[in-house]
Structure 1
Amino acid sequence: MTSDAAAPFAFLGHDGAVAGLIRDFDWSQTALGRVETWPQCLKTATALLLHSPVPIVMLWGERGVMIYNDAYSVFAGHRHPQILGSNVREGWREVADFNDHVMRVGLAGGTLAYRDQELTLYRKGYPEQVWMNLDYSPVADEQGKPAGVIAIVVETTERVLAERRNRQEFQRLQSMFSQAPTFMAMLSGADHRFELMNPEYRRLIGGRDVIGQRVDVALPEVARQGYVLLLDHVFSTGETVKRMSEPVFLNRSPDAPLEQRFLDFVYQPIRDDSGAVTHIFVQGSDVTERVRAESHQRFLINELNHRVKNTLASIQSIVGQTLRGASSKDEALRSINARILALSRAHDVLTQENWDGADLRSIIDSATSAFRDRGDAFRIDGPDLRLGPRAALAVALAVHELGTNASQHGALSAPEGQVSIRWRVDDRDIFRLEWAETGGPPVTPASRTGFGSRLILEVLPQELQGAAHIDHRPTGTVFVLESPVAAVSDKPLYRGEADGTHSDR
C-alpha cells in the first residue's frame, strides 16, 4: 500500500492483523461509506479499540456495522474475517434477536451488562454453547447523540465448565460420604465452617442443619468441651489428631439434657498445592453401644479399635498420598473418590462375613467390578482361599490400582484387551498372585513413582510379609505378588485345595 493510500488510515496508529484488514477493506460497500467520510468520533473509537488487549467490537449505526480488534478476532473463530464490516444481525444470525435488543438499548443511550451469559454460536461450523461476560455502552457522535455501541466481550466458557465439573465432583464426593458407614464432615478455613457432612454425622448431632456454620456456633456444647481448640491446633500445626472411645457430650434433642456418647474419631488436615492447610476432614464412629458390661466392653472396644484404626489409616493414606501426588484438584477428587469406593466395596464384603475374613474370589470380583465394561475382559482362576481382614483390604486396593492403570494405559483401554488374574499356593505354603495383561497398547514404565505404584510394590508386600514386582512386557503389564500363606489366610489350607484350580470365566 502506497503512502497516499495509507494516509486516510493514519488515525489507526496500529499495525496489528485486524488493523491491516481494516486498511484493505472496501468500506464504501457498507453503511459507513469511504473512510475519508468517517466522523472523527468513529475514527477515535476505532483507534481506541484496536489498541485494547481485551476483545472489543463496535457496532456502528442503525445496522450495527462491525469493527473489532485482534482479541475479538480470536473469539470470532472461523467467522473472522468474514464478519468484519458486516451488519451484526447478519454476521451473527444465530443470535440476531439478542443483538437486535442490544442495538435498540444502546442507540437509545442505555447500557447492558451480562455475566456468564450463555449463547449458542457457530464459530467452528457447528453449534457451540459458550458463556461470556458482556458489557455494552453507547458511543456518542459529535452532537452527543448515540451513534454506535461498544461491546466488551470476555469469554468465560472454560471457567463455567470447570466450575460445573467441580460441582459434579463435589456431588460425587457427597454421594460417597452419604454411603459411608461412619460419620464424616469437612470443615473449611481457620474458623472451621461446615462445608460437607454425611447422614451419619447429621444423626450423631441430632439432625441439626449446620452446613455453612462455624463449629462453635453450630455445636456450642462441643466448643465448651475444648474441641474447637483442638481443631485450631490441627489447622495451625498440620498435625493429625486421633481419639479413641472419647466421651463427648452432645445436645441431640432441644428438650433433653446433654447426652454422653463415646466416639472414635480423627481430625485430618487437608493441604492445598502450596502445602497450606485449608480444610480439616473429620471421620469416625459412634462406639457408645459397645461400651456396656465390663467384660464385654473390653472385647468390643478392642475389636472396634482395631477395625477403625485400619479404616482411618487407609483413608488418611489415600487422602494424604493422593493429594500430594495429584497434579490438580480435579484429579485429586477423582482419585480419592475411586480409591475410597474401592475400599468401601472391600468393606462390604468383609461386613457380610462379620469381619472374620473374606473369600479371595469375592474380593477380586468386587475390586474389578468398576472395570467390567465387557463381560470377557477378565479371566479369574484360583483355588478357594479366605483372606484375613487386613490382607483383604490390601489386595482390594492393589487390584483397584492395577485396574485403574490398565483402564487408562493398559489392556483395559483397548477393545480386545484382557486381564488374567490367577493365584495358587505351592507346596512350600507360598501364596502367589499374578495379574497379567494382554491385547493392550505397548506399555512403558511410568516416569515417576506415584501412590499407586508405591501401594502395590511397597505397602502391599510389607503388609503381607512378602515380595512383589512388576514387569512391563511388550505383550502387557505383569504384576506378581508372593507371600507366606499364613500372612494372608485366616486359616490353613488343606493340601488338596492348594493344588487344584478352577475358572469362573
Structure 2
Amino acid sequence: MRDGNPTETAMLSAQLQIDTDWQSLAPAAGGIGRWVADLDSGLCVVDPTWRRLMDLPHLDAAFPMVDFFEFIMPEDRAHVGTAIEESRATGAAFAVEYRVVHPSGKVMWIDGAGRPMTTADGRKLLIGVNHDVTAFRQAQERAELMAGEMAHRIKNIFALVGGMFNMAARSSDTREALIESFQGRLRALSDVNSLTFSGNRLLVRLRALVDTTLGALVEAGQIDVELTNDFALNGTAAQTVVLSLNELLTNAVKHGALSDPKGRVALSILVSDGDFVLTWRETAPHEITPPAKLTGFGMRVLRSMTVATFDGVPEFDWAPTGLTFRCTWKAAEMSYTEGNRYADQVVEQAVRATESRGS
C-alpha cells in the first residue's frame, strides 16, 4: 500500500475532527435510536434510527409522548412514567427497561437511557436513547426455562438412580453381582441421557435410542429391528424404553435366545392406531427355561416401571423358544409433543417461542 501524501493526510485528519457525521452514523450502526422529550409540553422528537428501530408507523418524527405510551405494555407504563418523573425532579439519569407492543402483536424489550437538561430559556428536556434488547431478554428467558427443566430432570434422575440401586441391592446375592447389575443399568441410563441432551431439544429419536442400546447386536444380525421412523420420545418415555431394552437384552444374553450364537431376537417398536407398542420376541435354537427368579430388578423394570410410565400395559409369554415381551402405551403420552404429562411441555414452550421469534 502506498504512503499517503501530506495533502491527503491533512484532509483525512481534518475529517476526523468533524464528529457530526460520526454521531449520526454510530447510533444507526448500533441500532440505537435517539430522542428528545420536552417535559413541559410533552412533545417528543425522534431520529430516523429510532423510527426504524421501533417500527411504529403511526408515529411521526415529532409526536406527543402520550401517543407512544399507548404502545408500552400496560403493566410497564407506570414504571416508565415514574422513571421520567424521578429524573425530572432529581436531575438523576433516566434508565428503565420496558416492553413495547407493536400493532402486529410483536413484543419488544426496550432499554431506555437518558438524562435531563435545561435549555437557555428554562425549558426542561429529557434527552435519551432507546436500544432493542429483545434478543438478550429472550435468551435470558430461554436460559431460565432450560435451567428449571434441567433442575427437574436432575432431581428425577437422582431419584431413579437411587431406586435402581436399592432394587439391585435387594436382588443381588453378592457384591460382584450388585456391581454388575447396577453398573449395567447406570450405563444404559447414561446413554439415553446423552442422547437426550445432544440436540437443541430435550427429546430422543427412537432410531438413535435403539442404535445406541442394541447397535452392535443389530449389526451382527442377531437382532432384527422394525421401527416407526422419526418418532421422538420425551425424556420419561426414553428412560423407560432404554431400561426395558437393557433388561430384555441382559436376560436374553444370560438366560434366553442370545445365550446361543444361533439365537435371534425380533424387536418391533411401532406406532399404530394411537398406540406405541414395543414387542421383543426371542427365537432360540434350543429350549429355554424361564429364570427361576422373576422378582429381580430386571423383572421389576419390565413389570412395574413400564406401568408407572404413562400407564403402560406389559405382557409376558415364556415360550420354549424364549421370551416374548410386549408393552403398549398411548403414543401421545410417549411422544415429545406439547401437552403430554412430562415436563417436556415446558421445554416445548421455550422451543416454540424461540422458533416464532426467529422467524
Tell me the TM-score normalised to structure 2 length.
0.52
Q: Which amino acid aligns with 1:471?
A: D
Q: Specify which of 336, 342, 363 is matched with residue 182 of structure 2.
A: 336
Q: Deviations over 1:354-389 (max 9, x none)?
A: 4521111211121224x6297111100122111111
CA contact (8 A) 2:260 2:285 kept: yes
Which of 230, 252, 258 is the matching residue for 1:406? 252
Residues 1:443 and 2:307 aligned together:
no
Percent sequence identity over aligned pairs? 29
1:316 to 151, 162, 165: 162
Amino acid at match of 1:432: V
Moved over 4 A (4+): 293-298
Alignment of 1:466 with 2:312, yes or no, is yes
Q: 1:325 and 1:365 mapped to 2: Cα distance?
A: 29
Report matched runs for 1:221-370 at 5 Å: 298-369=144-215
Q: Contact 1:401/1:452 (CA < 8 Å) preserved in 2?
A: yes
Residue 421 of structure 1 contacts residue 434 of structure 1 at CA under 8 Å; is this kept in 2? yes
The letter of the residue matching 1:443 is I
Q: Is the 8 A contact 2:267 2:279 kept in 1?
A: yes
Aligned mates of 1:323, 1:480 — CA distance in 2: 27
CA distance in 2, matches of 1:358, 1:294: 25
Taking the aligned partners of 1:372 and 1:296, their CA distance within structure 2 comes to 40
TM-score by length of 1: 0.37
Please state if 1:392 is matched with 2:233.
no
Matched, 1:433 2:282: no
Q: When the two structures are aligned, how many residues end up with a matched partner?
A: 198
Query: 3-state SS of the aligned residue for 1:422?
Result: strand
More helix by share: 2
Q: Which structure 2 segments of 5+ residues have no match?
A: 1-138, 339-359
Cα deviation digits, residues 7-30 of structure 1 (max 9, x gap): xxxxxxxxxxxxxxxxxxxxxxxx
Equivalent residues in 2 for 1:140-289 (5 A)? none
Contact 1:412 1:440 in 2 (8 A): no
Instruction: Please tell me whether the aligned partners of residues 431 and 482 of structure 1 are also in contact (alpha carbons under 8 angstroms).
Output: yes
Following the alignment from structure 1 to structure 2, what is the Cα–Cα distance between the partners of residues 413 and 439?
8
Amino acid at match of 2:157: T
Q: Residue type of the partner of 1:410?
A: G
Residues 16-54 of structure 1, C-alpha deviations (whole Å, 9 max, x = no match):
xxxxxxxxxxxxxxxxxxxxxxxxxxxxxxxxxxxxxxx
Partner SS for 2:304: helix
Name the CA distance, whole Å, in 2 between partners of 1:461 and 1:361: 23
Contact 1:468 1:479 in 2 (8 A): yes
Higher relative contact order (CA 8 A, sep 6+): 2
Q: Structure 1: state its 5+ residue gaps.
A: 1-292, 493-505
Deviation string, structure 1 residues 198-247 (Cα, Å, up to 9, x no partner): xxxxxxxxxxxxxxxxxxxxxxxxxxxxxxxxxxxxxxxxxxxxxxxxxx
RMSD of aligned alpha carbons: 2.2
Distance 1:488 1:303 in 2: 18
Contact 1:467/1:482 (CA < 8 Å) preserved in 2? yes
Aligned to 2:328: 482
Given that residues 257 and 288 in structure 2 are in contact (C-alpha distance below 8 angstroms), is that contact kept between their aligned partners in structure 1? no
Shift of residue 349, structure 1, vs aligned partner:
1.3
Q: 1:402 to 1:294 in 2, by over 3 A?
A: same
Per-residue CA deviations over 1:438-473 (Å, capped at 9, x if unaligned) read 025423333331111010111123213220011111
Residues 328/475 of structure 1: CA separation in 2 closer, same or farther (3 Å cut)? same
**Conserved in 2, the CA contact under 8 Å of 1:440 and 1:476?**
no
Q: Return the letter of the residue paired with 1:425.
A: V
The alignment status of 1:454 with 2:300, answered yes or no, reads yes
